[in-house]
Amino acid sequence: MESIILLAMGFDCYVAICKPLRYSMILTNRIIGVIAVVVVLRSLCMIVPIVSLLLRLPYCGRRIIPHTYCEHMGVARLACASISANVYYGLGTISILFPDVLVFIISYARILYTVFHLPSQDARLKALNTCSSHICVIFAFFGPALFSFLTHRFGHGIPQYIHILLVIST
């Protein structure tokens, strides 16, 4: 859900900076409503399979997650059965983030192109201040999230306290 909300915020920032005179024509109440419905539906489409994959697993033995947050693979690893379907679904979900990242890169490249072609220094600074906090939030979200996601699947030698520190920092 965070990714698509950041994507919607990036679209808003793009329209505000690159098409300021058409902002109210592009982002009408209807379009904002459609964006909100897409955010909710995409989030539901991502979380329902995760919950159903976790519910089908038998759990035995310890039921304590060894970190400070409850995430899909942390819960799946507590199961006594094969979690290969969970692993494949988890890897598939990251493929949804790649288009998001691509759209972020393209939109912010366009935003920066537009900003640096503004005629005055004050206009450039104002436009950069509008989207700089959003760019920081994107890096603060995607950096630790991708690190955590990939290391839970591939980097088993990374100490647990590194995972905990990154999750707490986001």
Q: What would the pLDDT profile of 19-72 be if each residue is shown by its tens digit?
A: 889 999 999 999 999 999 999 999 899 889 999 999 999 988 777 776 666 777
Ordered by start, the domain boundaries in the chain are: 2-169
With tokens 């983030």, the residue in question is: 97
The candidate with the shortest Cα–Cα distance to 13, out of 3, 2, 1, 27, is 27
**Torsion sign across C-alpha atoms 75, 77, 79, 85:** positive
Helix (H) / strand (E) element for 147: namely: helix 121-153
- Quick check: 159 pLDDT over 70? yes
